[in-house]
Amino acid sequence: MSYNFKKDIKPIWCPGCGLHIIYRAMIKTFKNFGWTNKDVAVISGIGCTGRGAGYFNLDTAHTTHGRSLCVAEGLKLGNPDLNVVVLSGDGDLFGIGGNHLLHVARRNTNITVICNSNKIYGMTGGQMSPETPKGAVTATTPKGAPYNPIHSQKIVTANDDYFYGRASITDMKQMQEILTEAINWQGFSFVNVQSICPTNYGRRAGFKNASEMMQVLDERITKQTNPEILEENQLGFVHS
């Protein structure tokens, strides 16, 4: 009998939020490994994604903003046999926690990071995040974001040892496959999941609903063709 990783607490994410899909994909992946709550811990930061740790029926830590990687690395060093998974957003990981990402990746600490890339600070009102596309309208950029988004693949793969994956909430099967490869990787692994925020990003961007956002996201993404690099909007993974 497989372990029940899902708590009875109902997630309070908005209807249509991509986190519902990521949460289910993580649970299915954990089950496929045959784990129990003694085998894995989930660490999260602050924000809509940060709430995720509290919905897993296992040991978790809801950390301060930008510090999820620090706590995860300390936990892994203290208990090397434990599978440590970080679930956080692009604002938490690339913005406030960006410096920690650089050095945890450089040290090649054996943890897996799952980034909910909804390209916005969702819980605090819809401010521009490090992955907000240039020109996008947000609460802090009513005339359009003036900056290019951060290149997470280049940050992670700048190291000698690396695993970088890109998945999408529009393809749960492939997301599980990439998560499985990332967890099996002996070292630091990072999976950037292309996601949506229909409430604080979609409405300002002119989308009618979450379904329309999902359709546009699905039309934009393609599958990996080069095993050494992921081109823009391609799904798959690369490693050293």
Domains in the chain: boundaries: 19-239
At 90, which amino acid appears? D
Q: How far is CA 212 from the centre of its chain?
A: 21
Cα gap 73→51, rounded to integer Å: 20
Look at the domain 19-239 and name its fold. Answer: Rossmann fold (3.40.50)
What average pLDDT does range 188-217 have in this prediction? 97
Work out whether strand 234-239 and strand 40-44 pair parallel, antiparallel, or are unpaired. unpaired
Looking at residues 102-110, what average pLDDT do you find?
A: 98
* Summary mean pLDDT of the chain: 97
Q: How confident is the model at residue 28 (pLDDT cuts 50, 70, 90)?
A: very high
Q: Tell me what the mean pLDDT of segment 14-27 comes to.
A: 98
Place of tokens 């620090």: 70
Predicted confidence (pLDDT) at residue 1 exceeds the cutoff of 90: no
Q: For the beta carbon of residue 240, count every other beta carbon within 10 angstroms.
A: 12
Is 126:120 a contact under the CB 8 Å cutoff? yes
Instruction: Choose among 187, 191, 239, 189: nearest CA to 80.
Output: 187
163-168/234-239 β-pairing: antiparallel
pLDDT score of 151 more than 90: yes
Does the pLDDT at position 53 exceed 90? Answer: yes
Residue 179, pLDDT score: 98
Arithmetic mean of pLDDT, 202-215: 96
Strand partners, 160: none
Q: Quick one: DSSP state of residue 94?
A: I
The pLDDT-based confidence of 21 (bands split at 50, 70, 90) is: very high
Per DSSP, the three-state class of 110 is coil
Q: Is the pLDDT of residue 2 over 90?
A: no
For residue 159 the two structure tokens come to 């190291």
Beta strand spans in the chain (E): 40-44, 60-62, 83-89, 112-117, 163-168, 189-194, 222-223, 234-239
Please indicate, yes or no, whether the overall pTM of this predicted structure exceeds 0.85: yes
pLDDT band at 201 (very low <50, low <70, confident <90, very high): very high
